[in-house]
């Protein structure tokens, strides 16, 4: 049995296949996912699992050099924005329009759907290198 923190086989597989500058997205239950992007659906109920629970788990294994958030999160979900900033204090954050974020999902290795029910709780993680 896998010993590290990410034990979901699909998430672990996607992370292990990522290289420098590749992207992975995590988001709320309502984010539309392009048909061409793999969707790893973890949502089981309203708020379960939460966006931050899944983000924290993924960050145990994925080296992240930059994140992309919707510009709208600043006004519509400052609580989640603060949690992200607190969790990734040294990581560059780029704010983009939500419509652009939805388009950028076409280039992500996968989208991990959570049970999060708060607005704009979506992130694109850009992979870094460990050397």
68 is in an annotated binding site: no
Task: Return the pLDDT at 1.
Answer: 47
Query: Which residues are part of the catalytic machinery?
Result: 20
Rounded to whole angstroms, the Cα distance separating 39 from 13 reads 13
Cβ neighbours of residue 68 closer than 8 Å, sequence gap 6 or more: 93, 94, 95, 96, 101, 104, 123, 124, 126
56 is in an annotated binding site: no
Two tokens at 73?
């999160």
121 is in an annotated binding site: yes
Low-confidence spans in the chain with pLDDT less than 50: 1
pTM equals 0.96
Two tokens at 16?
């292990």
Structural domains in the chain, CATH included, are 9-127 (3.40.1650.10)
Task: Return the pLDDT at 2.
Answer: 58
């Amino acid at each position: 049995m896998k010993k590290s923190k990410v034990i979901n086989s699909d998430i672990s597989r996607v992370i292990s296949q990522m290289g420098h500058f590749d992207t992975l997205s995590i988001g709320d239950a309502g984010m539309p996912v392009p048909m061409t992007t793999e969707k790893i659906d973890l949502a089981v109920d309203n708020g379960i699992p939460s966006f931050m629970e899944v983000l924290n788990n993924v960050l145990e294994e994925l080296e992240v050099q930059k994140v992309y958030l919707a510009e709208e999160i600043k006004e519509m979900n400052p609580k989640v924005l603060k949690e992200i900033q607190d969790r990734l204090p040294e990581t560059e954050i780029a704010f983009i329009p939500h419509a652009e974020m939805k388009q950028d999902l076409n280039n992500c290795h996968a989208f991990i759907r959570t049970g999060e029910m708060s607005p704009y709780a979506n992130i694109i993680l850009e992979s870094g290198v460990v050397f």
